């Protein structure tokens, strides 16, 4: 009973279905595969529960279950419907309807946004392997450190052979090395270590290791170290942006990045301080890629779970900086496209009535985006986002 009550309490934010079954019920068993599949498909939108009343007599009594299979549906904690019988089509239809009622279609989904919807939402990654011999020379003596040489060998095997043949090195030793590096290594050498980390993070096993690390006490301080440098060297800033992009190579990491302020805050700061780098085109492009990874990860949470993954304060900071970057970009079509994609997915299906919507209106986001039409006439995202998303979509 406590488990059922806990599940129904959690489902008050969405919807739930209870399947009352019993041990000696052949029709019930025919529905098990379908119910399991629907449970996977409806995760976050409809919680599917199964109760065997031949064992949980008290639950069957409480809900007055007289035959099996019997189903009960709930929307935001309120009972909607009850029926009995093994009808697969009715079961599937009712679960789909519940999910749609719990998370109604956003008005933006009816907008005509061909360029935005045609864009690839896979994360931007930087996987190019430089000549490792030259990287070792730039590292100097630290290349012989066991923690570093282990990662170098791992990256080399991945590049030369099948990546799955590369045995994961001593990650704990490398983590310790990374935590001590900012206080021990000269700033001129730090970029080689961050670049090595970038290369390792292409492997989802490495990314998964750091995603599960308690309090993220290796990656977070490393990003903060770069942010705190008064005059961060260009190579170090660039590889730090690229390294952060590669955190998204595994689906394990984005949820941690979005919900953990010790990760999201320094990453947002790194993005906002890099987007407006007027001197280095590559920094702006990498910052746009990292912003895109953040906003698309948040968008996927928004669509799949019906909630915001990234705090609204971080979204507002990203929106303001992306708008400024869009307004001043006059040279790079590649950078502008990156800004527009990141900004577009930040705004697409945004909850109505929030502070982010107010900011977009007060900053004349529509005018800012449309002002790029003349200079970047071939960029179709300008009209998609400027005319449609920020025009019709924010009315």
CB of 156 within 8 A of CB of 133? no
Residues 79, 81: Cα–Cα separation, whole Å: 6
Give tens-digit pLDDT for 180-211.
999 999 999 999 999 999 999 999 999 999 99
Domains and CATH numbers, the chain: 2-104 (3.40.30.10), 115-127+219-394 (1.25.10), 129-201 (no CATH)
Q: Which of 2-16, 28-42, 182-196, 311-325 has the lowest mean pLDDT?
A: 2-16
CB of 257 within 8 A of CB of 217? no
pLDDT at residue 85 in the model: 94
Give tens-digit pLDDT for 248-295.
999 999 999 999 999 999 999 999 999 999 899 999 999 999 999 999
Residues 219, 210: Cα–Cα separation, whole Å: 8
**Residue 306 above 90 pLDDT?**
no
Closest CA to 185 of 152, 222, 155: 222
Residues 310, 255: Cα–Cα separation, whole Å: 9
pLDDT at residue 343 in the model: 97
Residues 244, 267: Cα–Cα separation, whole Å: 8
* Chain position carrying tokens 């409480």: 62
**Residue 1 above 70 pLDDT?**
no
CB of 152 within 8 A of CB of 174? no
Give tens-digit pLDDT for 51-94.
999 888 899 889 999 999 999 999 989 999 999 999 999 999 99
CB of 72 within 8 A of CB of 79? yes
**Residue 2 above 80 pLDDT?**
no
Q: Residue 198: how many CA atoms within 13 Å on its side-chain side?
A: 27
Closest CA to 67 of 83, 46, 81, 87: 83
Give tens-digit pLDDT for 154-185.
999 998 877 877 899 999 999 999 999 999 99
pTM of the model: 0.84
Mean pLDDT of 28-44: 91
Q: Are strands 70-75 and 78-84 parallel, antiparallel or unpaired?
A: antiparallel
If pLDDT is split at 50, 70 and 90, which confidence band does 42 have? Answer: confident
Identify the burial level of 278 via C-beta atoms within 10 angstroms of its C-beta, where 0-12 means exposed, 13-18 middle and 19 or more buried. exposed
Q: What percent of the chain has pLDDT over 90?
A: 79
Give the strands of the sheet with 78-84, arranged side by side. Answer: 47-52, 15-21, 70-75, 78-84
């Amino acid at each position: 009973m406590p488990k059922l009550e806990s599940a129904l309490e959690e489902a008050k934010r969405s919807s739930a279905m209870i399947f009352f079954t019993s041990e000696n019920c052949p029709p019930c068993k025919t529905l098990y595969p379908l119910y399991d599949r629907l449970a996977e498909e409806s995760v976050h939108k409809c919680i599917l529960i199964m109760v065997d009343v031949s064992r949980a007599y008290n639950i069957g009594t409480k809900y007055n279950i007289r035959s099996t299979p019997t189903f009960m549906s709930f929307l935001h904690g309120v009972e909607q419907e009850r029926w009995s019988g093994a009808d697969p089509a009715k079961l599937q239809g009712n679960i789909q309807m519940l999910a749609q009622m719990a998370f109604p279609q956003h008005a933006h989904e009816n907008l005509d946004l061909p360029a935005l919807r045609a864009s690839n939402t896979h994360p931007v990654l930087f996987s190019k392997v430089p000549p490792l011999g030259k990287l070792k020379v730039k590292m100097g003596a630290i290349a012989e450190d066991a923690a570093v040489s282990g990662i170098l060998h791992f990256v080399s095997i991945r590049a030369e052979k099948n990546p799955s043949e590369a045995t994961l090195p001593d990650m704990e030793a490398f983590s310790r090395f990374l935590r001590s590096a900012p206080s021990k290594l000269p700033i001129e050498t730090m970029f080689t270590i961050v670049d090595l980390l970038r290369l390792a993070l292409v492997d989802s096993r490495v990314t998964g290791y750091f995603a599960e690390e308690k309090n993220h006490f290796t990656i977070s301080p490393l990003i903060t170290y770069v942010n705190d440098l008064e005059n961060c060297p260009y190579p170090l800033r660039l590889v730090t942006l690229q390294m952060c992009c590669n955190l998204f190579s595994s689906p394990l990491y984005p949820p941690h990045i979005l919900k953990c302020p010790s990760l999201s805050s320094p990453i947002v700061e790194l993005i906002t301080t890099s987007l407006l780098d007027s001197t280095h085109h590559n920094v702006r492009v990498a910052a746009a890629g990292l912003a895109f990874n953040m906003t698309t990860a948040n968008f996927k949470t928004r669509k799949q779970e019906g909630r915001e993954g990234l705090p609204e304060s971080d979204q507002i900071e990203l929106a303001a900086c992306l708008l400024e970057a869009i307004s001043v970009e006059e040279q790079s079509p590649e950078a502008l496209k990156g800004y527009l994609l990141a900004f577009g997915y930040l705004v697409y299906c945004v909850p109505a009535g929030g502070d982010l919507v107010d900011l977009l209106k007060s900053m004349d986001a529509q005018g800012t985006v449309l002002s790029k039409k003349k200079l970047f006439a071939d960029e179709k995202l300008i009209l998609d986002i400027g005319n449609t998303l920020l025009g019709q979509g924010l009315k």
